[in-house]
Structure 1
Amino acid sequence: MNASLFARLVSGFPADRAKVFLETEDGTEVSFATMLAAAGRIATLLRGAGVEPGDRVAVQVEKSAEAVYLYLACLQVGAVYLPLNTACTATELDYFLTDSEPKALICDPAAAEAAAPLAAVVGARLLTLGADGAGSLIAESAGLVSDRQVTERAGGDVVAILYTSGTTGRSKGAMLTHDNLWANVATLHWLWGFRPGDVLVHALPLYHTHGLFVALNLMLMNGGKLILLPRFEAEAVIDRLARATVLMGVPTFYTRLLASPRLTKEAVSGTRLFISGSAPLLTQTHAEFEARTGQRILERYGMTETGMSASNPLVGERRAGTVGMALPGVELRVCDAGGAPAPAGEVGVLEVRGPNVFKGYWRMPEKSAAETRADGFFVTGDLATIGADGYVTIVGRAKDLVISGGLNIYPKEVEEALDALPGVIESAVVGAPHPDLGEAVVAVLTVSADPGDVPAALRARLSGFKLPRHVAVVETLPRNSMGKVQKNLLRERFRDVFQAG
């Protein structure tokens, strides 16, 4: 049996290929047949360019229907799909290309001049694809025969490499296999109750696990309909929710939806499921969304190296502040720094084992070994607790832990107390070097009104050593493309606040 992810996904397509799979922002509808034909033409072009099974194809393009065809074409020919953030710089692109040595690079036409010498160095064929579908990729494939051959792949073969954000040290290329992605999408399809009639509003990026391997793969497998938006805009999403059954997003999506008076129970009456991930969802956002819409957001947990690992239930308690329980077939445990399991309810580093866990880091065997236990558990670097009932609560990243006077301070605990204060919209807690304590807490806030004496307001709720010793108010918190607060930037900005002179 061919274990190719392409073959497995296509098995879920409807028998009637004339059915609509994709709707673009302007309302253009694309059938399964049209999509497969376009992907086949691109597959012919890639094969003609010398792309063989296992070769990397680097893709740095804006979101479009044609970008979906390109993704499918890469899967069809057995290439390793390597999506790159459209915001990455020339220096970053140089590193990614030099490290991965792709056989082809597809970029935006506007970036072709800058990308050409970088592609030449590694011998990559340069093709272009714009947000409007224009570019040499489509122009050169337009007159070709649509190749329907699906390359045989084993389940353990690498199907994609996703580079981690690299906020600490250089980026690592996480190698994901056909089995990794299939196991994850098949589990989520069952767990979240997907059915052929589902319609998903897709407003996430296509270069990230969430938008690519969760949202897109799920709808491909499901044989349903995808409403593809180039980016998230609250009003555009609300316009389409009346025709949709599912929305996947990051917490920022939901705060921006709540800012619109058009978000009502009536506006989402046909939508059965709202999913959030990629960054922590505030308990306040969870409560406000339920009050406005009557629906409880389903929060889940995942990362580049593992895909999804935990989820709140479709049927059952969707517990605010938690990411739910381990997915079926996935094992989660919390351990101390030495790998010894921690008692239920105690904070430790979350570790994951299961068919979703990646093959390792591209050309970094030492790093792969360092982050994997002898028994196969992957060390996520996330601090968490697991309750006796299995619900997982993410406390923060291990690198974000603040150690003040030898005492551990978990940022999330302080942030929850800060977020509950009148006038505080959102908070981020980081540690900064302190001449006496080693580190001390810095609270960075966005506010709607003067919060007053913040440390004094927190004294009834937090121990003295956890109180912020410096409070800063900013207009916005720095975030990456998936809505995660970039605490590394905050640590850099406030690193000298406790230094003498």
Structure 2
Amino acid sequence: MSQSLYALIEASFPTDSGRLAIEVPDRSVGRSSWTFAELGVDVARTASLLAGLGLKKGDRVAVQAEKSPEALLLYLACLRGGYVFLPMNTAYRLDEVDYLVGNAEPSLIVCDPAREEETRAIAERYGTVHVLTLDAEGQGSFAEDIAKPRDVVPAAACESADLAAILYTSGTTGKPKGAMLSHGNLASNGLALREAWRFTRDDVLLHALPIFHAHGLFVACHCALLSGARMIWLGKFDRAEVLRHLPRASVFMGVPTFYVRLLDGADFNAQVVAHMRLFTSGSAPLLAETFDEFKTRTGMAILERYGMTETGMNTSNPYDGERRAGTVGFPLPGVDVRVVSDEGRELPRGEVGGLQVRGPNVFGGYWRMPEKTAEEFAEGGWFKTGDVAKIDEDGYVHLVGRAKDLIISGGYNVYPKEIETLIDEMPEVDESAVVGVAHRDFGEAGVAVIVLRKGRMLDEATLIARLKDAIANYKVPKRAYFVETLPRNTMGKVQKNLLRETYRDACR
């Protein structure tokens, strides 16, 4: 029997296959709904299209396309056919896409029609044979090819350990790493969340997250698909549209930025959310003041959870029970967590140390980086998250810092080393440091602190404009400051804690 995640998803479809699976209320052209029966047919047709291109089990399919149900169909078709799905942030610039394609060597790239020419150039450089296009309205050569008649090929038989997806995450070296996620990793996490968050076929998920990210693609979509629940599909977070559709929904998943923006107007109130049973928040820390204001305004407590690209979800505040502001709750079913000292000794409750996790959700390693993979695991299969945490006497996990200086801005990971490398390459710059500071809308934002070469000039606007040409906008620091020297300790290491304190109000 196949252990394919898609086989599990398809087995979870409601017996009444005429029930709506996806509706797209804000679509101006193209198809606006799918029943579960239609979803199954279109996934099979898409998988057959991929097979017809000559793709074999294990081949990579890279996608940099705007959010659409058709893009979700492509992901599900990859699961069905045994292909490896590689989503790319739509904000990535050419150099970023170039690196990922060169590293993953996909057999197919699907891109927005506006990027076809530049994508084909990258594909040609690395020997990728096929490039198809797909836009937010479901239009493009990909959609045209699906519509052509062809024989439906059988679903691939997949083992639990077979690779399902590669999600790239940068690191302290600035070079992105491909986290390899198996069918078993994704299935175990989806089932754990379905249980923990009480998903059923009667739920309606209002989906406003991007799907190039684990939160929107795996957490949100898997919960709905593994429950036979319906999704109201929004192309992006738009406050007015979310408010319009919330009365028809039962579940909403967001990043803290979404909740800050919802609370910005008095029209978001208890009446609007009267039909809702669950709001979850993740991808970035939720400020206690946002949690408290939301509860006061609506009478509901946001459920905060904690996960990573490499592991999916690890912990969650309880569905039944106290959801504590500033905590990420308890380990999910099947997941173990512990806090350890610098020497690797497990610490007692209440003490602060490095957070490690273990379970069937934890990825198998980094694509083509065996040495890096070995570095990130401790004996016994424990993954070193790089987060600093404590577990209180009641068992709630508290994240108190990040050992790797990670900035989470608007739910997206920003790695300072990547930005610093680009800034340091500028001819006017001697050295730089990028730190994260509080930002009401994005949770955190980057601030660049720069030392210029003697006699050279550079201003904030020019620096930021150059960075915007080179990297995704969410990675670009919101502010830049120029100083004579960077603060260092006796060992010569830049004291980023002092910089964070000095510029703590830069983005307020």
Task: Bin the TM-score by the shorter chain.
Answer: 0.7 to 0.9
- Letter of the 1:84 counterpart: M
Q: Give the Cα separation in 2 of the matches to 1:75 and 1:135.
A: 22
Q: Give the Cα separation in 2 of the matches to 1:99 and 1:50.
A: 21
Is 1:69 matched with 2:73? Answer: yes
Q: Give the Cα separation in 1 of the matches to 2:74 and 2:196.
A: 28
- Letter of the 2:276 counterpart: T
Q: TM-score, normalised by structure 1?
A: 0.82
Partner of 1:86: 90
Distance of aligned partners of 1:24 and 1:47 in 2 relative to their CA distance in 1, 3 Å threshold? same
Which of residues 329, 348, 352 is equivalent to 1:343?
Answer: 348
Contact 2:270 2:299 in 1 (8 A): yes
Is 1:368 matched with 2:373? Answer: yes
Paired residues, number: 436
Residue-by-residue CA offset, 1:266-320 (whole Å, 9 max, x unaligned): 1000000000000000000000000000000000000000000000000001000
- Letter of the 1:296 counterpart: A
Distance of aligned partners of 1:68 and 1:445 in 2 relative to their CA distance in 1, 3 Å threshold? closer
Contact 1:39 1:146 in 2 (8 A): no
Partner of 1:35: 39
Partner of 1:185: 190
Partner of 2:11: 11
**Where does 1:55-204 land on structure 2 (aligned, <5 Å)?**
55-124=59-128, 125-145=130-150, 147=152, 149-166=154-171, 168-204=173-209
Residue-by-residue CA offset, 1:408-467 (whole Å, 9 max, x unaligned): xxx99xxxxxxxxxxxxxxxxx9x9xxxxxxx999956689xxxxxxxxxxxxxxxxxxx
Residue-by-residue CA offset, 1:133-174 (whole Å, 9 max, x unaligned): 111111112022362621000001110000004464200000
Is 1:237 matched with 2:242? Answer: yes
Partner of 1:248: 253
Residue-by-residue CA offset, 1:466-499 (whole Å, 9 max, x unaligned): xxxxxxxxxxxx99xxxx996x948985775766
Report the CA distance between 1:338 and its aligned residue: 2.3
Residue-by-residue CA offset, 1:184-218 (whole Å, 9 max, x unaligned): 00011011011110000111110111001110111
Q: Give the Cα separation in 1 of the matches to 2:185 and 2:252.
A: 24
Identity of aligned residues (%): 50
Partner secondary structure for residue 161 of structure 2: coil
Distance of aligned partners of 1:260 and 1:351 in 2 relative to their CA distance in 1, 3 Å threshold? same
Q: Which runs of 4+ in 1 moved over 4 A?
A: 440-448, 488-500
Residue-by-residue CA offset, 1:220-252 (whole Å, 9 max, x unaligned): 111110011111111111111100000000000
Q: Give the Cα separation in 1 of the matches to 2:357 and 2:484.
A: 36
Partner of 2:223: 218
Partner secondary structure for residue 222 of structure 1: coil
Q: Give the Cα separation in 1 of the matches to 2:227 and 2:435.
A: 46
Partner of 1:314: 319
Contact 1:306 1:358 in 2 (8 A): yes
Q: TM-score, normalised by structure 2?
A: 0.81
Q: Give the Cα separation in 1 of the matches to 2:232 and 2:440.
A: 35
Name structure 1 gaps, 5 residues minimum: 402-410, 413-429, 433-439, 449-477
Which of residues 316, 337, 347 is equivalent to 1:332?
Answer: 337
- Letter of the 2:327 counterpart: T
Which of residues 273, 276, 289 is equivalent to 1:271?
Answer: 276
18-27 vs 93-102, greater mean Cα deviation = 18-27
Query: Greater RCO between the two (CA within 8 Å, min separation 6)?
Result: 2
Partner secondary structure for residue 338 of structure 1: coil
Q: Give the Cα separation in 1 of the matches to 2:22 and 2:153.
A: 20
Distance of aligned partners of 1:350 and 1:222 in 2 relative to their CA distance in 1, 3 Å threshold? same
Contact 1:274 1:298 in 2 (8 A): yes
- Letter of the 2:91 counterpart: A
